Amino acid sequence: MSYEPSTGWTRLTGRQVERYARRVDGLSDDLDERLDVSGLAHYWDTHGNLHARCMPGELWVLLNGEQSRFDDPDPTEPVDQQWISVTDLGAVFDPAAPPSTVLKMLREEGLLERFAGKDRPTPQADGLYMERPASPVAGRDLKPGAVQRLWSYDVLVKLRARRVATADNDPHKSPPALRALVVKFPAACDRCRLEIVAGSEAYWDSAVKAIRCTQCATAAAAGTGQR
């Protein structure tokens, strides 16, 4: 596990996740469900690494259920955000959306606009992105002054909401696989962002791996003529 004090995020490789995850009484066996219900900000990148906004010990307890064997550093106030590449934003989707599709979605979200044949951030994107000098990709020459633009977790959440909306509108998709559950930690509906307080009922949509409030779950079921 690697913890970045400047952002307050921990990164775990897919191999570590496999090694540490255990069945935990009272928590789902579906790791995505467990993470979503925990209310922790998190995502998987294209390499299968898990990133979560917490300290290693917290993540360990969530995965393993046992007392942490990590010495968490003293909490400090994060000074930076977790910045996410366009490639990793695409991993929100299954299969992963290519960067060109992600950029199109960012334009549709009003965060990018075309200007002189290039994408540029709109005023709406203020605070949601950062730019740094691009690092060379093997076999490709870098244009002078090339920058890599990275996006905040809030942007990833917007794309995740799209994944859910797209699944709702897909006429070919199988009936929603909704499972009622009682949330153990405060969470938020993946669709309408309604807060779901600990102890209240919600639904887990296994088709899109998302937690939903009872209202959105009912609407989704009615929309497809099921249930």
The Cα 220–Cα 226 span in angstroms is 9
The Cα 97–Cα 92 span in angstroms is 8
Instruction: Identify which of residues 53 and 191 has a Cβ nearer to Zn ion in the complex.
Output: 191
Residue 216 binds Zn ion (CB under 5 A): yes
Residue ranges in 135-176 assigned as alpha helix (H): 153-169
* Sole window of 46-54, 150-158, 172-180, 205-213 interacting with Zn ion (rule: CB under 5 A): 205-213
Residue 147 binds Zn ion (CB under 5 A): no
Instruction: Identify which of residues 84 and 210 has a Cβ nearer to Zn ion in the complex.
Output: 210
Rule CB under 5 A: choose which of 134, 192, 197, 198 binds Zn ion: 192
Residue 155 binds Zn ion (CB under 5 A): no
Q: Please, what is the minimum distance in Å from the beta carbon of residue 183 to Zn ion?
A: 13
The Cα 196–Cα 214 span in angstroms is 10
CB 135 within 8 A of CB 148: yes
The Cα 29–Cα 62 span in angstroms is 11
* Sole window of 21-29, 34-42, 119-127, 211-219 interacting with Zn ion (rule: CB under 5 A): 211-219
Interface of this chain with Zn ion, residues 1 to 20, rule: CB under 5 A: none
Rule CB under 5 A: choose which of 61, 194, 207, 221 binds Zn ion: 194
The Cα 45–Cα 49 span in angstroms is 5
Amino acid at 38: S
CB 203 within 8 A of CB 190: no
- State whether the Cα torsion 99-107-220-31 is positive or negative: positive
Instruction: Identify which of residues 14 and 199 has a Cβ nearer to Zn ion in the complex.
Output: 199
Q: Please, what is the minimum distance in Å from the beta carbon of residue 144 to Zn ion?
A: 47
Instruction: Identify which of residues 155 and 189 has a Cβ nearer to Zn ion in the complex.
Output: 189
Q: Please, what is the minimum distance in Å from the beta carbon of residue 226 to Zn ion?
A: 18
Instruction: Identify which of residues 111 and 210 has a Cβ nearer to Zn ion in the complex.
Output: 210
Residue 182 binds Zn ion (CB under 5 A): no
CB 188 within 8 A of CB 194: yes
Q: Give the interface with Zn ion as residue ranges (CB under 5 A).
A: 189, 191-192, 194, 213, 216
